């Protein structure tokens, strides 16, 4: 079992909206449903921040990471060409 400090639990509740113990008691399906309902914009930002350019993951800095939605759009475009 995980041991989290009270400060970490408070931060977790502020970000997620649920107590840490509530998340542990939930099933995977319940967690996924909660995530879709409450946290819809979870993902990579398309906006490049100049202060972070060149630091960290180079794929993020160059916007080379593709999501499944991006790949679906690319493949749909390729299907139309054929």
The answer to whether residue 44 sits within a structural domain is no
Read off the pLDDT of residues 2-28 as tens digits, 9 standing for 90 and up: 688 899 989 888 888 888 889 889 999
Q: For residue range 13-67, what is the model confidence (pLDDT) as tens digits?
A: 888 888 888 988 999 999 888 888 876 666 666 676 666 555 667 776 677 788 8
Q: How far apart are CA 20 and CA 10, in angstroms?
A: 9
Give 60-68 contacts, CB < 8 A, sequence gap 24+.
67/43
Q: Is residue 1 part of a domain?
A: no
Residue range(s) defining the domain that contains residue 34: 6-38
Classify residue 11: in a domain, yes or no.
Answer: yes
45 within some domain:
no
Domain assignment of residue 57, yes or no? yes
Does 69 reside within a domain?
A: yes
Structural domain count of the chain: 2
Q: Do 34 and 10 lie in a common domain?
A: yes
């Amino acid at each position: 079992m995980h041991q989290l400090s009270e400060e970490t639990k408070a931060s977790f509740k502020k970000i997620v909206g649920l107590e840490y113990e509530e998340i542990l008691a939930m099933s995977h399906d319940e967690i996924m449903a909660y995530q879709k309902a409450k946290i819809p914009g979870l993902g990579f930002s398309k906006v490049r921040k100049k202060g972070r350019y060149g630091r960290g993951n180079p794929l993020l800095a160059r916007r080379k990471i593709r999501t499944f939605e991006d790949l679906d759009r690319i493949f749909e475009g390729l299907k139309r060409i054929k």
